[in-house]
Amino acid sequence: MTDSRISELPAVTGFLDAQEFAVNDAGISRKITGAQIRSAWGRDFLGRTKLAASAHETAVVTIEPRDILWIQVYITAYGGTPDVTGDIGSLRFNGDTGNNYWTRHLYYDAGAWNDVVTASTSLIRLAPTNSRLSRNVLCTVNNQVNRSKTVNMKNQTGTNDATVAGQVNIAGGEWVNLTDRITSVQLVNAGSNNMITGTGFYIEGANLS
């Protein structure tokens, strides 16, 4: 048996799909494939990005498609120019800028529920209203072949004030594309303001079989 130097090891992509290695099973060498290992991990890490400087949108993250996606978004804050009320971070899939998305946000504030709907838009809005403060959003997305892509969202916007409780927000949306699976994700502001340094997102995925 010979050992490979680090420089001779296969690329990560090759290992994840097809690479084999052996273990000793009572004196018998058993092969395990990268695919078998991956299936034991549950969720697969697919990609992430973070702003190194304030910008209107993040880099596009290209991913291997999975049946279900989990996208964790963190927005540190929004710039106040040109709109002093801030902005709404939003998701765009596969670079589709057509009016192929809708979102519905229900939020509780000042003793009442509010229903905010946007239809025929070019992105999935992650919140119902503008803010200049931090946001934490968890999105679960179905990514089946030949099915429209529905998005379930949990959003919390900060207040920067311990005496002021934030809005409770639950939401859903859809990318109405019956053909393509999601293979790229980008975080984009719905308006013209910037998102502040440190804003970004993290994607995991899993197949149902």
pLDDT for the residue numbered 53: 97
Q: What CATH architecture is 43-206?
A: Sandwich (2.60)
Q: Rounded to whole angstroms, how far apart are CA atoms 55 and 61?
A: 16
> What would the pLDDT profile of 65-93 be if each residue is shown by its tens digit?
999 999 999 999 999 899 999 999 999 99
Reported confidence tier of residue 43, pLDDT bands at 50, 70, 90: confident
- Above pLDDT 70, what percent of the chain? 84
**Percent of the chain scored above 90 by pLDDT?**
71
Q: Could you give the C-alpha distances from 149 to 70, 160, 198, 204, in angstroms and in order?
A: 13, 34, 28, 16
Domain with CATH 2.60.120 in the chain: 43-206
Looking at residue 189, its pLDDT comes to 97
pLDDT at 175: 98
Q: Distance between CA atoms of 195 and 78, rounded to whole angstroms?
A: 5
Return mean pLDDT, the chain.
88
Buried/exposed code over 132-142 (b: 16+ C-beta within 10 A; e: otherwise): bebbebebebb
Which pLDDT score, from 0 to 100, does residue 34 have?
64
- Backbone dihedral region for residue 128 (phi beyond 0: left; psi -120 to 50: alpha; all else: beta): alpha
- Dist. CA 151–CA 142, nearest whole Å: 7
Give the tens place of pLDDT for each residue, 10-41.
555 445 555 666 666 777 777 766 666 665 56
Q: Which residues 6+ apart lie within 8 Å of 143 measured at CB?
A: 65, 66, 67, 68, 69, 149, 181, 182, 205
Residues 138, 70 contacting (CB under 8 angstroms) = yes
Query: How confident is the model over 127-157, as pLDDT tens digits?
Result: 999 999 999 999 999 999 999 999 999 999 9
